[in-house]
Amino acid sequence: MWKYIRRYLPFAILAGIFMVGEVLMDLVQPGIMSRIVDDGVLGLNRDGVGDLHLIWLLGLQMIGLVLFGGFCGTLNNVFVHLSGQNIGNDMRKDCFRKIMTFSFPQVNHFGTGSLVTRVTNDITQVQNLVSQFVRGMIRTTMLTFGSMYCMFRLNVRFGEIVLCAFPFLVGTLAVCLRRANPLFSKLQDQLDQINAIMQEDVSGIRMIKACVRELYEKKRFGKANDALVKTQLKTLVIFALMNPVVNALMYLVVAGILLAGSFEVGKGATTPGAIMAAITYTTQLLNGILMLVMLFQNISKGTASWKRVKEILHSAPDLSDGTFDGRTEKQGEIEFCDVSFSYPGTNEKILSHINFSVHKGETVAIMGATGCGKTTLVNLIPRFYDVTEGRILVDGVDVKSYKQKDLREKIAIALQKSELFSATIRENIQWGCQNADEEAVREAAVTAQADSFILTGPKQYDTEVAERGMSLSGGQKQRISIARAVLKPAEILIFDDATSALDLKTEAQFYQALQQSHPDSTKIIVAQRIASVRRADRILVLENGSISAMGTHEELMRSCPAYQDIYHSQIGKEGEPA
């Protein structure tokens, strides 16, 4: 954490200095009040005659000290917030940058809900830890030990009474924190679960309603929330029991001071003003102890949260960056060399001994039954995962040797599940190329067969897209995603079942327009429909993670039973493919 604190250490030091000033003003005032009572009101040093002038003088002095203390307290708050907020800001940005480098397995390991909790709630707890430590540690330490020191200066007997109660106060604090500390980590884990449920249910709200599972999800969320509340109540009960114990001990101290003070006043060893000052110092000591309790509570919460944040910050990306910048004479060539793949943490081979190559400008389609590994295969090209065995070459260079940024700049991808953002249609398309002008965006939309429906909207390309594209149909979302991929100046275009929501006519028009606009780009098409792939230069048929056949549509119709089965099953449903 020092890495973040040292950047704003001057703010923290200034906050500490002003806090010292504020506490000193608090510690000085009971002594002044003692003089006002003894000398100004009772006139103990003037034969029982009060001194109004002294009361005014000391009263104005107290007001001045209060104002100065308030000034110091205000500046302390300013510098505490400057340090705490900036530390939290830097930490949150670093966490997000780190998450952006995570591989898919790492994101799955943490979970979306947990990552959201860590970047928001946990960093806020760490931020509070820093702020409370800078402000609270100085204030509580000075109030606690300063009040005890002043008590001994007033009267040794008063100091001894407070000192006798001190071990009981510390013991109560230690017992409560020991019982509460394990609950703080549990609280954050339960908050992860709630965020995960929220994320799942909001994303899948349509399916929940379609399956009439609202009641089930309400119960699931309620169960998770009840567990969180139960844990929170345990921590609150612990501290709720502690506060009366601490208050009772301090009231016993006050009673002891009053009792001892009555004897001391009778013997002339102390004064009523000193007793008042001692009670005030006892109150300050009580406040210091209670603040110390809150401080340790925040430290415990912040420490538990820091461990969770540190897991993100200290996680090394699974996929190490290469050094190659992607500059090659070849453009758009792909080669799979005896590639096998298993997902991390499993031994089941999804792909087994895949060998094929794609040349610049070729269109290669991939077909096969659901679960045969089509999407997994294309995910290996931009290196979303690393192969288990073998090599994948892009333009003659192993993808592991590339800098990930340079490799992925060569590749444009459109997925079956369209990912749209809360922005305008134009901005969503420009994700493919941020510097693209209006004409380029329009051309990409025309190629993707999206221009016609975009122009029917009241704001056309400036139409706002709702969160996750909820304001658009499935086919409209796919066409915008396709336009985004087409706009990107990439050598390799991958369409992973990206036209599944389009009708056959629109799909055929798109592929025809794509060939005209990107004749030199290498195209990889994953599809389920014969109509989507029959005009490809080559078609790969995957079965159980292996290539069972490869060739043109005509060749496969003669030699591949699996392809023939797909063809004949679709002929019955769709008629002759266009």
- Kindly report the pTM of this predicted structure: 0.71
Residue 544, Ramachandran bin (φ over 0: left; ψ between -120 and 50: alpha; else beta): left
Rounded CA-CA distance 353/337 in Å is 8
Closest by alpha carbon to 247, among 157, 169, 163, 140? 169
Rounded CA-CA distance 280/293 in Å is 20
What ranges make up the beta strands (E) of 218-369?
Answer: 334-342, 349-358, 363-368
pLDDT one digit per residue (tens) for the chain, 578 residues: 788 888 888 888 898 888 888 888 888 887 778 777 767 666 666 666 666 777 788 888 888 888 998 898 889 889 988 888 898 888 888 889 888 888 878 887 887 777 888 888 888 888 888 888 878 788 888 887 888 787 787 777 777 787 787 788 778 777 877 787 778 778 878 887 887 888 777 767 767 777 777 888 888 888 888 888 888 888 888 777 777 777 787 778 778 877 877 777 766 667 777 777 778 877 777 777 777 777 777 777 788 888 888 888 888 877 778 888 777 777 888 999 988 998 887 778 888 888 988 888 888 999 888 778 888 898 898 888 888 889 999 888 888 888 888 888 888 888 877 778 878 888 888 887 878 788 888 888 888 888 888 888 778 888 877 766 676 777 888 888 888 888 888 889 998 888 877 878 888 888 888 888 888 889 898 888 887 888 888 889 888 888 888 888 888 888 888 888 888 877 654 444 44
Rounded CA-CA distance 400/321 in Å is 7
Domains in the chain with CATH codes = 2-313 (1.20.1560.10), 334-574 (3.40.50.300)
What single string gives the DSSP state of each residue in 267-333? TTSS-HHHHHHHHHHHHHHHHHHHHHHHHHHHHHHHHHHHHHHHHHHTPPPSS---SB----S--S-
Q: At 382, which amino acid appears?
A: P
What single string gives the DSSP state of each residue in 308-319? HHHHHHTPPPSS
Q: At 144, which amino acid appears?
A: T
Q: How far is CA 32 from CA 25, 142, 247, 347, 430, in A?
A: 11, 19, 26, 78, 70
Residue 520, SS3 per DSSP = coil
DSSP 8-state secondary structure symbol assigned to residue 106:
H
Rounded CA-CA distance 261/282 in Å is 14
